[in-house]
Structure 1
Amino acid sequence: MSTTDKKSGRRTLFLLIAITIAPVLASYLAYYVWKPQGGMTYGELLKVGPVPAFAMQTLDGKPASLAEFKGKWVLAMADGAGCAAACQDTLHALRQYRIAQGKEMPRIERLWLLTDAGQPSAAALAAADGAQLRRALAPVPLPGELATGFYLIDPLGNQVLRYPRDAQPGQVIKELGKILKNNQNLG
């Protein structure tokens, strides 16, 4: 066997060893050195727990509670009856987020919590278009600034996510779709 054949054989052996070890080394580096970033949400993940009970009623004065939405995912927002343009935009966006879920749409309910004693304008009611309206008789116990966000409440009555009112529609729609898909048995 010539020297050239020995060198060629060694090269082939080292190449085979490198090919064998490379995936193991790559997986080790990927897991321990470059840590995975899974589990990122677009909305602000809230401490999951039941939304504390608070007094509310329907617009015609009948008592109401969040329990009537049990079994549905709820997109909730709180604002005064005056509902300026930003509020109306949010109401419209909540409607679009629900519609964008297609066949999953019936699993989602929209809730507008009125934080004052006023009557919503015709423009605000048009923007709400099918959303449930309830008058909050006590401060709404959801975390964060109510006027700057909207919330996702799960079918068991737990607060889950908070989104800014100016959220990117595509991101919210995508995240809602994933939540509904991964929680088929939850409502």
Structure 2
Amino acid sequence: MNRPSRPPPAPAAAARRNRSALLVILGLSFGTLLAAGALRFSGWQPQALKNRGELLQPYGDLRDHDLILADGGRYRWKDSPRTWRIVAVPDGCDGARRAACAQLLENLDKVWRLMGREADRVHVLWGGALPMPATGMREVYPIRMDARLRTALVPGAATAPGDPVWLVDPYGFVVMRYPSGFDPGDLRSDLARLLKVN
């Protein structure tokens, strides 16, 4: 019985070609990793993952803050788990400011409606009296504002004038702020992404 013969050794040109191909594959693999690392540590993010609102550092903490509703009842954080809150604190809604407050409430109503089936997981807390009846919004809660609540929203920072809106996570931490004149689409985008996560 004849023993199988060994294949002839590959020519030197073929060996170089194989080595070059391996080096190109390794270069592409490590080059991609290096490029991804450079983008990550430079702070770049894809547009779809960027926050539209201002991310607060440090977060405000409303967990132990008793919110009093306009009718005298209490708003309890723990009664609605997995619920995100939009807190609107207008600068007075009387006289000339009434129209601006009504527009802000309409914008928040749009955001709430655009949440679709997730709308039940979003409460709108409105600081003060409503400028108009919130006819379509089941989850709007007028609350009494006080200095302690304003301080708890953004600890250690002076609030900017206008009608700021804050986004509060289900645990009672104030995580984002939207300044006066913000685009309601920005709030909707951030909230829709956060509702998917939590």
1:161 and 2:176 matched: yes
Measure how far apart 1:12 and its partner are.
Answer: 3.0
Q: Which residue of 1 aligns with 2:86?
A: 75
Query: Distance between the aligned counterparts of 1:111 and 1:69, measured in 2?
Result: 15
Match runs of 1:86-97 below 5 Å: 86-97=100-111
* 2:51 corresponds to which of 26, 36, 41: 41
Give the match's secondary structure for 2:182. Answer: coil
Aligned residues: 171
Match runs of 1:20-169 below 5 Å: 20-35=25-40, 37-38=44-45, 40-46=50-56, 47-51=58-62, 57-60=68-71, 62-65=72-75, 67=77, 70-71=80-81, 72-79=83-90, 80-82=92-94, 83-114=97-128, 120-121=130-131, 124-126=132-134, 129-130=137-138, 131-139=140-148, 140-141=150-151, 142-143=153-154, 144-145=159-160, 147-169=162-184
Seq. identity, %: 23
List per-residue Cα deviations over 1:8-61 (Å, max 9, x = no partner). Answer: 64773354134322332322321343335346321111223522766764334x
Measure how far apart 1:104 and its partner are.
Answer: 0.6
Instruction: Report which of the two structures shows the higher radius of gyration computed on alpha carbons.
Output: 2
RMSD after superposition? 3.1
Q: Which residue of 1 aligns with 2:3?
A: none
Residues 174, 150 of structure 1: CA spacing in aligned structure 2 closer, same or farther, 3 A cutoff? same
Give the match's secondary structure for 1:136. Answer: coil
Residues 174, 56 of structure 1: CA spacing in aligned structure 2 closer, same or farther, 3 A cutoff? closer
Structure 1 residue ranges (4+ consecutive) displaced by more than 4 angstroms after TM superposition: 52-56, 126-130
Give the match's secondary structure for 2:162. Answer: helix
Gaps of 5+ in 1: none
TM-score by length of 1: 0.72
AA aligned to 2:29 is: V
Gaps of 5+ in 2: 1-10
Q: Does the 8 Å CA contact 2:124/2:141 hold for their aligned counterparts? A: yes
AA aligned to 1:43 is: G
Measure how far apart 1:138 and its partner are.
Answer: 3.9
